[in-house]
Amino acid sequence: MLSHQQIWAAIDALAARHALSASGLARRAGLDSTAFNKSKRLSADGRPRWPSTESLAKIMEATGSSLIELFALVEQQPAAARRRAVPLLGFAQAGSGGYFDDAGFPAGQGWEEVDLPAGASEGAYALQVQGDSMLPLYRDGDVLIVEPGASMRKGDRVVVKTSTGEVMAKVLAGRTARSIELVSLNPTHADRSVPTVEVEWMARIVWASQ
């Protein structure tokens, strides 16, 4: 059966075949440049979002590809049960500019990668803990798998990046239109109330390597 992962991987493969990024392929096809971004492949509640038949027709026309060629690329993609590698970034990298798109997904290429644990959804990636600010729950060197598109509720462990470049792992205590309330994992660090306008992105922690 055709999987969500396979069809998006085929689009990525088609872009690479023509020396394009996913955004470049979208632009060549006359689509919005963000149409194929990883952040667009999942809905806000984490459900898979499929490309439209219109967008598929446009990328085939733009690249001179046939439906047979596109489905050949689909067939070449591994099934979802096989190994999936995801980008691994340190918290220092996460706090620097240019490493993420507006939805909190890694941007660019050349990252170190780790295997995605079973059960994690597409769009997940890994952050490596640096320092002791998250003790006793997370230690220096622990790997956290986060999902930017996952739904979040009170009590969830989350990673938050602010507009000043600060990246922190906290427990979500509550959120309103004006602010998010965060409880520190380390009792020696103060809890935080961050104005919503200062939150660049927030992603739920779904797995840790401890």
The pLDDT > 70 percentage for the chain reads 80
One domain for residues 149 and 187: yes
Residue 62 has pLDDT above 80, yes or no: yes
* 16 contacts: CB under 8 Å, gap ≥ 6: none
Residue 206: how many CB atoms within 10 A of its CB?
A: 18
Higher pLDDT, 106 or 65: 65
Q: Which amino acid is at 65?
A: S
Predicted pLDDT of residue 209? 77
pLDDT average, residue stretch 14-43: 85
Overall number of domains in the chain: 2
Claim to verify: residue 139 and residue 113 sit in the same structural domain: yes
Range of lowest pLDDT (1-5, 44-48, 160-164, 197-201) = 44-48
Q: Which of the two residues, 174 and 134, has the higher pLDDT score?
A: 174
Asked which of 48, 76, 104 is the last residue of a domain, the reply is: 76
Asked if residue 189 and residue 98 are part of one domain, the reply reads: yes
Give the pLDDT confidence score for residue 135 in this predicted structure. 85
Among 34-38, 43-47, 102-106, which is the least confidently predicted range? 102-106
In terms of domains, do 116 and 200 share one? Answer: yes
Overall pTM surpassing 0.85 (yes/no):
no
Q: What is the DSSP string of 108-164?
A: SS--EEEEPPTTPPTT-EEEE--SSTTTTTS-TT-EEEEETTS---TT-EEEEEETT
Q: Are 92 and 195 part of one and the same domain?
A: yes
Q: Which residue has the tokens 């427990």?
A: 171
Res 171 pLDDT > 90: yes
Host domain of residue 13 = 4-76
The pLDDT, as a whole number, for residue 90 is 76
Task: State yes or no: pLDDT of 133 exceeds 60.
Answer: yes
99 in the same domain as 40: no
| CATH number of the domain where residue 99 is located | 2.10.109.10
- pLDDT for 82 equals 44
Q: Are residues 99 and 195 in the same domain?
A: yes
Using an 8 Å Cβ cutoff, are 116 and 78 in contact?
no
Residue pair 209/143 in contact by the 8 Å Cβ criterion: yes
Last residue of a domain, one of 16, 51, 76: 76
User: How many other C-beta atoms can be found within 10 angstroms of the C-beta atom of residue 22?
Assistant: 21
Kindly state the average pLDDT of the residues 62-90. 73
In percent, how much of the chain has pLDDT > 90?
24
Average pLDDT for residues 128-152, to the nearest whole number?
Answer: 85
Residues 120 and 171 in one domain: yes
Q: Which residue carries 């170190």 as its tokens?
A: 112
| Residue 33 confidence (pLDDT) above 80 | yes
Task: Give yes or no: residues 57 and 126 share one domain.
Answer: no
Most confident segment among 45-49, 91-95, 116-120, 140-144: 140-144
CATH code of the domain containing 27: 1.10.260.40
Residue 80: the pLDDT is 46
The verdict on 90 and 69 lying in the same domain is no
116 and 15, same domain (yes or no):
no
91 shares its domain with 59: no
